[in-house]
Structure 1
């Protein structure tokens, strides 16, 4: 197994599978009936794409990392699901075609550098959505960024890898830096260290609403924490369901 595949498999190992069930259930409740052509942005190793395909959708998964997509293709083949995977950047969706539905989960929008880029993503999604199409995405709440993440630390030790995750507040409002260190065992029994820096930023709900309106979305509803309820001051994750 290639080193990167080992590394990506660690991501899958530490990811809570129940979250994919929750993303799937939330989506199916809010997808309009009769809409089947779906684009999943930031699809990673393809777990969510496969869930959507199993639910009967015609799925295209897009991700920046070709290595992740190679793993996603293997996952879809193992699950005997037909999914199209495309290497690309969500800041340019001009070549992906038209879709009825677009999703972007696991707070991937929070990885955009600033609100200009967030607005650019929304405009790209709007351009590739058919009329009456629906865009669903989730982001960290401002509460999560200000009260939960700063000072957060998580350590995990298993036989074949160790994982250290520390989070600090960043300079911009509602932004954090995640420092991730992995020690992954290779076939010879030796451990290789991987270090990653993840920078995330979120905004007030009103900012997202304005950017969505500017991108051409006319009906936007906001929910919290995988449930069909309005956000409150301690909600951790916001879900936007935007209709073009």
Structure 2
């Protein structure tokens, strides 16, 4: 995902969201100082940087090498250290990760796992990476967001030398959405715009299915929330938040 879009994705992202994810993390986990923290699907490194500035020992994993290159540049400019690794959610045990205190996976990144087996595999991999008593925090699109908000959604944005078009459509299987993303980037050598297009498929699952997959992977004490401040989930909640613990035993 985002193999050709990393720079423009980073430009479009609402940076205020990262502070909200940090605040949620501190609210549900506590101080990050001297904690080993993995930011799963770390993207261009905004949240990893915030974690490091909190005094955490930070690891970042992402599938996109282009994203990780931008993340490394961001951390270097801030004179902040984090260990960045290219890898797949479903194969974390292939990476040289230590036993972690906390794993986070935000921005609905788990919705790119479009079958339940892959989601449970990822949960199992995260479980193995966490030490006893460790915590997993993540968010996912709600059923309402995928089935009611996204279908027919359109968003357009433009700068002087580039523009962006986003259209979303209902997709198969159930509770899925297709995002058609196109960037138009001005190229002087062409004397015109170069179109860069990607199709992104996302899927979510009923909360009960997510909880069952967490339990089957060895997590306990699963909690759910309807917003960054820990609100109660309602039928029109757009993003679900989860906290899952590994037992101390």
Q: Quick check: TM above 0.5?
A: yes
Scaled by the length of structure 2, what TM-score is found? 0.92
Q: CA deviation at 1:157?
A: 1.6
Q: CA deviation at 1:163?
A: 0.4
Counterparts of 1:88-167 in structure 2, within 5 Å, are: 88-94=87-93, 95-167=96-168
Tell me, in whole angstroms, the C-alpha distance in 2 between the residues paired with 1:81 and 1:215: 34
Find the counterpart in structure 2 of residue 218 from structure 1.
220
Q: 1:115 to 1:6 in 2, by over 3 A?
A: closer
- Report the more deviating stretch, 29-38 or 136-145: 29-38
Tell me, in whole angstroms, the C-alpha distance in 2 between the residues paired with 1:46 and 1:90: 17
Find the counterpart in structure 2 of residue 228 from structure 1.
230
Tell me, in whole angstroms, the C-alpha distance in 1 between the residues paired with 2:241 and 2:122: 16
Find the counterpart in structure 2 of residue 46 from structure 1.
45
Find the counterpart in structure 2 of residue 16 from structure 1.
14
Q: CA deviation at 1:21?
A: 1.0
Find the counterpart in structure 2 of residue 25 from structure 1.
23
Q: CA deviation at 1:85?
A: 0.2
Matched, 1:75 2:62: no
Q: CA deviation at 1:187?
A: 6.1
Scaled by the length of structure 1, what TM-score is found? 0.94
Cα contact 1:35–1:100 (8 A) shared by 2: no
Q: How many residues align?
A: 241
Cα contact 1:5–1:71 (8 A) shared by 2: no
Unaligned regions of 5+ residues in structure 1, if any?
none
CA RMSD of superposed structures (Å): 1.7
SS in 1 for 2:84: strand
SS in 1 for 2:103: strand
Q: 1:87 to 1:187 in 2, by over 3 A?
A: farther
Counterparts of 1:53-68 in structure 2, within 5 Å, are: 53-68=52-67
Q: 1:5 to 1:171 in 2, by over 3 A?
A: closer
Q: CA deviation at 1:212?
A: 0.4
Tell me, in whole angstroms, the C-alpha distance in 1 between the residues paired with 2:162 and 2:90: 34
Q: CA deviation at 1:191?
A: 2.5
Tell me, in whole angstroms, the C-alpha distance in 1 between the residues paired with 2:34 and 2:175: 35
Which stretches of structure 1, 4 residues or more, deviate above 6 A after TM superposition? Answer: none
Tell me, in whole angstroms, the C-alpha distance in 2 between the residues paired with 1:42 and 1:80: 22
SS in 1 for 2:90: coil
Q: 1:201 to 1:35 in 2, by over 3 A?
A: farther
Tell me, in whole angstroms, the C-alpha distance in 2 between the residues paired with 1:183 and 1:225: 33
Per-residue Cα deviation, 1:112-144 (whole angstroms, up to 9, x for no partner): 020100000000000010000000010000000
Tell me, in whole angstroms, the C-alpha distance in 1 between the residues paired with 2:115 and 2:4: 32
SS in 1 for 2:167: strand
Unaligned regions of 5+ residues in structure 2, if any?
none
Cα contact 2:34–2:55 (8 A) shared by 1: no
Tell me, in whole angstroms, the C-alpha distance in 2 between the residues paired with 1:204 and 1:124: 21
Q: CA deviation at 1:190?
A: 4.2
